Amino acid sequence: MINIENEQKTLPVLLTIRSEQHFENMEPDSMELMTEGTLTAAGEGGIVLSYQESELTGLEGTTTTFEVRGPQVILSRTGNVNSQMVFEEGKQHTSLYETPFGELAVDIQTSRLRHSLTERGGLMDLRYSISVEHSVTGRNAFKIRVRPKHELRENGQS
């Protein structure tokens, strides 16, 4: 007999990702991207979102993964760009960010982390500031909407 509860279920999804960056003395920079990816239910309520970056984001050749586990979200990038950032509301985490010129230690201070993600999709709202060498360099936000691809076809959308 197969225990289905312990198997990971991967679902093809459509991600709508809106990102905003606010830097001092500059106009906010925002971008919205729709891309295909996967959602994997990872047991104990964990959710893993994964997608390939494109030329549009400047990260072509990179896989981005959001791993949602309890009060934490871990954003990992692997490929042409390698980095890992840990987000936990009200807490600061130091992460390593790889650049073509070397690695930087950056502090991530998460001011908001909300999500309604399940194995069927949902929303994630993430707001945080980044500090390099203890100096805040900017405030950022991600809003991610996750929908199963099959729902779109059934509703006549592409």
- The answer to whether residues 33 and 56 touch, using CB atoms and an 8 Å cutoff, is yes
Q: List own/partner pairs for 153-158 with CB under 8 A and 24 or more apart.
A: none
Q: What is the pLDDT of residue 8?
A: 64
- Determine what percent of the chain is predicted with pLDDT higher than 90: 46
**Across the chain, what does the average pLDDT equal?**
85
Residue 40: phi, psi to the nearest 5? Answer: -120, 125
Q: What is the pLDDT of residue 7?
A: 53
Distance (Å, whole) CA 151 – CA 14: 10
Residue type, 121: G
Q: What is the pLDDT of residue 135?
A: 81
What is the pTM for the complete model shown? 0.82
Q: Which residue has the higher pLDDT, 155 or 77?
A: 77
Helices (H), the chain: 149-154
Residue 106 structure tokens:
């950056």
